[in-house]
């Protein structure tokens, strides 16, 4: 088998280090409490790549320093570091140690698979003296890995990941995954984007689901204060019959009729935007809306606030472990990893 297509032993999937718990003096490899979602991700990737799963151990010393250990033959092999990078600060240094250890043990290439890529929203200097942490984080990560695969990073002011990362990358689009879920689970949906930034993304989801779509306008007054415009619903009751309201066309109607709004977003953090959008849709006479999001950040009381807003259902992808996970990204990540590894092998 050509090297670019992965040798029979495939890529070694390395779980992100997990704390073995109090009283553990040796960072022995093995699954630890709370790592079930990550182990499931690794197994899904291994199945798609024809590789194997190996677990790394992390030990925290009494002074707070970290030690990592893995027991596996990595000589001449490709290693995929699979890690959930929400709450990234305590994970970044152990991840760097682990990547460095893989090289020390003879790994041929080390690729990071981070379904959620943090620090992407700080993409400009909003106030004098602020660090542009998306670029700072990218420079740190680029020092330790040969490539990166992620799902729908928050690219707003950065045109691509190449603008800030110094290593090759592949981006997996979650829109087809959300579209397939909506098409199979929500009868007569209308896809709703909460703000102008979501327009292209909402349209892609709607077209994949064969549904109409609309986009609202958002004004952010602070970290938690958000205002959302009224939706333009002229003619929605006759949507199915109206030529201009064909599947994938922008919804513009007088009422919701029997349509179910599906609010789609890439990141739900404080949930302020989603909550205000749900309130606006309810005030306009819509049915309880379904919320479908890619990254379930749910910072602070975000999840409680969203539950209190009364959505019909909330579904997220497995980029961040959460009770709402219902859309698995591993089957889409594996081909992207295989493509990146093949490209690195040709370089």
Contacts of 152 (CB under 8 A, 6+ apart): 171, 172, 173, 174, 175, 266, 294, 295
Count of residues making up the chain: 347
Residues carrying an active site annotation: 218
Cβ contact 97:130 at 8 Å: no
Encode the chain in three state secondary structure: CCHHHCCCCCCEEEECCECCCCCCCCCCCCCCCCCHHHHHHHHHHHHHHCCEEECCEEEECCCCCEEEECCCCCCCCEEEEECCCCCCHHHHHHHHHHHHHHHHCCCCEEEEECCCCCCCCCCCCCCCCCCCHHHHHHHHHHCCCCEEEEECCCCCCCCCHHHCCCCCEEEECCHHHHHHHHHHHCCCEEEEECCHHHHHHHHHHHHHHCCCEEECCEEECCCCCEEECCCCCCCHHHCCCCHHHCCCCECCCCCCCCCEEEEEEEEECCCHHHHHHHHHHHHCCCCCCEEEEEEECCCCCHHHHHHHCCCCEEEEECCCCCCCEEECCHHHHHHHHHHHHHHHHHC
Find where tokens 């009283």 sit.
Answer: 23
Cβ contact 334:48 at 8 Å: yes
Distance CA 115, CA 284 (A): 35
Distance CA 153, CA 137 (A): 13
């Amino acid at each position: 088998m050509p090297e670019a297509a992965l040798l029979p032993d495939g890529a070694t999937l390395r779980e992100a280090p997990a704390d073995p718990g109090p009283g553990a003096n040796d960072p022995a490899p093995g699954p630890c409490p709370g790592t079930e979602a990550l182990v499931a991700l690794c197994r899904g990737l291994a199945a798609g790549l024809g590789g194997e799963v190996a677990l790394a151990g992390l030990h925290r010393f009494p002074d707070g320093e970290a030690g990592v250990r893995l027991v596996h033959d990595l000589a001449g092999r490709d290693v995929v570091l699979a890690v959930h990078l929400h709450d990234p600060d305590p994970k970044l240094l152990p991840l760097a140690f682990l990547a460095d250890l893989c090289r020390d043990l003879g790994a041929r290439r080390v690729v990071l698979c981070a379904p959620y890529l943090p620090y992407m929203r700080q993409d400009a200097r909003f106030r004098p003296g602020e660090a542009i942490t998306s670029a700072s984080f990218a420079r740190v990560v680029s020092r330790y890995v040969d490539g990166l695969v992620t799902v729908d990073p928050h690219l707003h002011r950065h045109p691509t990941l190449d603008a800030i990362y110094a290593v090759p990358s592949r981006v997996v689009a979650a829109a087809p995954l959300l579209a397939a879920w909506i098409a199979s689970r929500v009868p007569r949906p209308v896809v709703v984007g909460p703000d102008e930034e979501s327009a292209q993304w909402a349209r892609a989801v709607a077209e994949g689901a064969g549904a109409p779509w609309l986009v609202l306008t958002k004004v952010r007054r602070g970290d938690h204060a958000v205002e959302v415009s009224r939706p333009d619903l002229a003619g929605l009751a006759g949507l199915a019959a109206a030529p201009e309201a064909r599947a994938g066309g922008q919804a513009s109607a007088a009422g919701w009729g029997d349509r179910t709004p599906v609010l789609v977003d890439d990141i739900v953090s404080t949930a302020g935007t989603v909550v205000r959008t749900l309130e606006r849709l309810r005030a306009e006479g819509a049915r309880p809306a379904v919320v479908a999001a890619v990254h379930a950040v749910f910072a602070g009381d975000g999840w409680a606030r969203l539950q209190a807003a009364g959505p019909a259902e909330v579904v997220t992808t497995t980029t961040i472990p959460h009770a709402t996970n219902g859309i698995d990204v591993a089957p889409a990540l594996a081909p992207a990893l295989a493509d990146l590894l093949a490209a690195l092998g040709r370089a």
